[in-house]
Structure 1
Amino acid sequence: MSSTEVYQGDDLIHSPRTNKEKPAELWWSIIKKTLFIVGSSALIFAALSNTLTYHLQRFWGASGNFWQHQWENILLTFGDDSFNLFVYGSFCVGYIVYWGIGSFYTYMDISGKPEFLRRYKIQPGTNEPVERNQLIKLIAIAHFNQILSIPVAAVCYYIFKYRGFNNSYKLPTFHWVIFELAIFIIVEEICFYYSHRLLHHRYLYKRYHKLHHEWQSPIAVTAVYSHPVEHIFSNLLPIFAGPMIMGSHIATFWLWVSLAIFSTLNAHSGYHLPFFPSPEAHDFHHLKFNQCYGVLGVLDLLHGTDEKFRNTKAFSRHIMMLSLIPPREAFPDHSDLKSKDLNAGLFTTEVIQPLEKE
């Protein structure tokens, strides 16, 4: 697939690349973006992990290393049955994390409460509240796909076992876990971008991917609202691939699954909440279909599949908000605001015309 081909629904569209950067400058931009995303993610995780571990140890009074103690309890529950540990243990972890976080978002979508969070909606006025029959269908398909993950995990178990399945009593070191997570992020970006973009081929889109795009304004639990073929090859395998390549410890795999689920729920949530990773790019993908196929945006930058996105206000908002000001207020859509005198200088908003729906 060439970098100038963009698949949208049933049609194949050829769009000339408009990125003006020279190849060397483009690659440097890609390297910087990758290092920033992976490095900042590792730093944040390290800080949170150390703090969380300290407080949990004090709260629970666990002797020695808290996580090691909990892991040993899990192994005592499952015994020496590595198959059940991997297949059913992974299912339970994924299910609990998905619906634990997803239920909070779904409550907001149904009730509109807490009301102050509606200010953080990316597409205001949509799914307020979410339509009941749509939600029932969504929950049914999501559960089917989650059950489908059990036989997929069973197959992957033997690949893990061949690669060197690790379910030992001793957990990997913290620094090794951070290194593996960085590898997983890169592998997921590659696998998801190309599998996702392939699903936008006119033949595959109408058969396998159109279902997921029924939601032009997605909600969190639409993350696995998809055809089973798409769910296996574009949702599950990109997550499984990194740990299979690395021969990771099962506890590291569970941690990765939890982080990946949080990421995809946030990306589909329709809310750009403060201190959360920005979901603007994937929300824009649901709105415009042929932009922003990846997770990190690195391969979108390389292939030029984020050009239209970069010319919208949504791109200006595509940052982690470190204040409580909603992104739509910090970066307004329209330029009907007159020049305002703010402190010592003048502030003007740029005129950016919204894209016409293709």
Structure 2
Amino acid sequence: MNRAVALRLGAFAGALALAFGAAYAIGTAVDPIAAADTTTAPAHGEEMGGMEESAAGHGEGHSESGGQLPGLAVSEAGYTLTPATTFYQPGTKTELRFTIQGPDGKPVKEYTETHEKDLHLIVVRRDLSGFHHVHPTRDANGTWSIPFTFTAGGTWRVFADFQPAGLDRTLTLGTDVNVSGLYIPVPLSEPAGSYSFDGYDVTLAGTPVAGKESELTFAISRGGKPVTDLQPYLGAFGHLVSLRGGDLAYLHTHPAQEATAGMKGGPEIKFATTFPTAGTYSLFLDFQHAGAVHTAEFTVKVGADGSAIVPPKQLPTTKAPATKAPATPGHETTPHGH
């Protein structure tokens, strides 16, 4: 082999090495599992992704050193959300099944209870319609399952909110599932200070500021009268899930006041939460009254320097769309959505 040929072969081999190296780097950067497993997330209770505890309430979540927010990755800290299938038919009751794979590659069987449950499951379509907060059951092998009906075609996001035994913080993992059929996106409602459904009127007041703790106050009335006998639900008088438009980053917030059997709450429920960035968020408030769990929905636009939600009387009322399902008796084993 002459010198010229040898030089050409050497240059070709070098180019191949560079190409494979670049491809590996790109693949690692975009793989949510690889990205999640290469760093250690801060312990529960530290400020995490703009969410921290306060006297008025607390937001549960975590972020990695790179700023990863809850619900954006399918795997974190060695734990992976693994659905039994990612393909479903609309309008048909089916079994939604999944496992949480632990660092050893086996289904997790031991959990630390949070808010009276080992795991909270949130299911919502990517356009933020069809919100459900449900609680599946776990068998002896570590498989979670719940009867579930996907109401329409499209891509749906499934969030598992839980704390594995031995881990000092909660995790929220998210994955997409596909529902066949015609996809007709539902536009978000415009920001409003009041939401009316099933005879209830829920008003919202507060001043959310991106990156800073904000207090939000929900006031509940029925038939024009304040509701003063809210019932405890999962250890609180209200649960608030906020999802960021676009990527559906997840914030789960509970009020500071604990609620036990026999206690009565209302008409106001206060939360302190931190919206990590400016943008549009969908807020879903769960509360229990007269033996049934209800969900109020709000759209909030958060600015970088404060976007006040002005007093409800100055804003239009958002009515629950007629196409959405009525409230179910509870969230324990059946889907619930509005």
Q: TM-score range by the shorter chain?
A: under 0.3
The structure whose RCO (Cα within 8 Å, separation 6+) is larger is 1
Q: TM (normalized to structure 2)?
A: 0.26
Which structure carries more helix by proportion?
1
Which structure carries more strand by proportion?
2
Q: TM (normalized to structure 1)?
A: 0.25
